[in-house]
Amino acid sequence: MTNIGRAVVVAATLLAAGAEAQDLSEIGDIQSGRKLAVQDCRSCHHIGPGSPGPQTRKEPPSFYAIANMASTTPTSLYVFLHTSHPTMPNLRLDKKESDDVIAYILSLRRQTQ
């Protein structure tokens, strides 16, 4: 690959990484989402970066594991948060709260475990 080809690949990678970081801030406030997760989710889920996944199938997945699932998107998280589940409390998050929690979960994507 030529030097120009390498430069194009590096530039494209940096632009994609910058766009992903920008998208999270456009979704919601990561710090507010973390505070909500501590308040409402921590009693069942591991919510921090590098948290392990569930040890058994009965344990809920960590936010890290959720963030790194191939199927996880802002839309899939929004639908999940607004659909009742028998094993989960019926959370009543408004749009901003949902967006903040979604931004926090997605911020954990690809962080080292």
Express each pLDDT in 25-39 by its tens digit. Answer: 789 999 999 999 999
pTM of the predicted model over 0.75: no
Superfamily of domain 28-107: Cytochrome c-like domain (1.10.760.10)
- CA-to-CA separations, 3 to 6, 8, 16, 57, 65, in angstroms, rounded: 5, 9, 20, 49, 37
Give the percent of the chain with pLDDT over 90.
Answer: 45
Q: Give the whole-angstrom CA distance, residue 24 versus residue 73.
A: 11
Question: Is the model more confident about 26 or about 54?
Answer: 26
Reply yes or no on whether the pLDDT at 84 is more than 90. Answer: no
Band (58; pLDDT cuts 50, 70, 90): confident
